Structure 1
């Protein structure tokens, strides 16, 4: 689903996560990830696409990229899972699962693609569940879940 670029001929000196700077949903979650990672640089494709001529601009527009200093390029959900290596508490399981399970890879590729095509909706869901400040997320999803469960229990009670 995602064009896989195994290597770039002009690797960065530090790991680089490339994302769409015109996407509010992307910006929100990049701010979250930046606060949880170390040793990873974040730049928009609008800033750096010209530095990687072997990766077409249309591919940068389709999905995020993680470009390692050895030239390795990870795309879409693979790039997201690979960033977990740089979290304060690294987690390599997601990326390894993506690499080793074709079912997981297909599911996450389709999920990523759906979210990419529905970014305004995903932003609304993000704001409803976690609030406007990505650095001080609130657990609004807990209130939504509690409300939904209360309604469900009330309906069961009334129908019985």
Structure 2
């Protein structure tokens, strides 16, 4: 599990989302987020970890971080939830819920941990459900869902 780090003494000049540049799943979704956000820079921990000597390098490997100009650090799922505040249509709902609810925070942290340990599988599922191009995603998940519903409907019809 990752460590939550509340603040850095070395804040960036611009609000910064830091992610794992060796993760295809991460790169896919960063490309999506870049197209939807403003006022937020994106860099890999491999590029910028040394700029934050008070954050252990191993913690950058364990979880994404969003570091704001005032030095506030958001970690793991909260870094993703905080990113929604930078969307062209901003939302702080998920971040606020994460901050207020211990149960939601624990569920989110465990979900994030599961995702981080299964990124190759989730990358494959992402491609199956949305396609290879993150900037031209297709709703393949809907086709799969309709196909499954059709299959179940056919089975029910013939097995009754």
TM-score class, shorter-chain normalisation, is: over 0.9
Size of the aligned set, in residue pairs, is 160
Query: Take 2:27 and 2:89, find their aligned partners in 1: how far apart are those partners?
Result: 22
Report the CA distance between 1:2 and its aligned residue.
3.0
Q: Aligned residue for 1:5?
A: 5
Q: Aligned residue for 1:41?
A: 41
Query: Take 2:138 and 2:70, find their aligned partners in 1: how far apart are those partners?
Result: 38
Q: How does 1:62-101 map to 2 (within 5 A)?
A: 62-101=62-101
Q: Aligned residue for 2:145?
A: 145
The runs of 5 or more residues in structure 1 that have no matched partner are none
Alignment pair present for 1:124 and 2:131: no
Query: Take 2:129 and 2:90, find their aligned partners in 1: how far apart are those partners?
Result: 25
Q: Aligned residue for 1:57?
A: 57
Report the CA distance between 1:155 and its aligned residue.
1.0
Query: Take 2:120 and 2:158, find their aligned partners in 1: how far apart are those partners?
Result: 37
Q: Aligned residue for 1:106?
A: 106
Report the CA distance between 1:3 and its aligned residue.
0.9
Deviations 1:20-72 (A, max 9, x none): 00000000000000000000000000000000011111100000000000000
Q: Aligned residue for 1:16?
A: 16
Deviations 1:58-89 (A, max 9, x none): 10000000000000000000000000110000
Query: Take 1:15 and 1:84, find their aligned partners in 2: how far apart are those partners?
Result: 13
Dislocated runs of 4+, deviation >4 Å: none
Q: Aligned residue for 2:133?
A: 133
Q: Secondary structure at the match of 2:6?
A: coil
Query: Take 1:152 and 1:106, find their aligned partners in 2: how far apart are those partners?
Result: 35
- TM-score, reference length from structure 1: 0.98
Report the CA distance between 1:103 and its aligned residue.
1.1
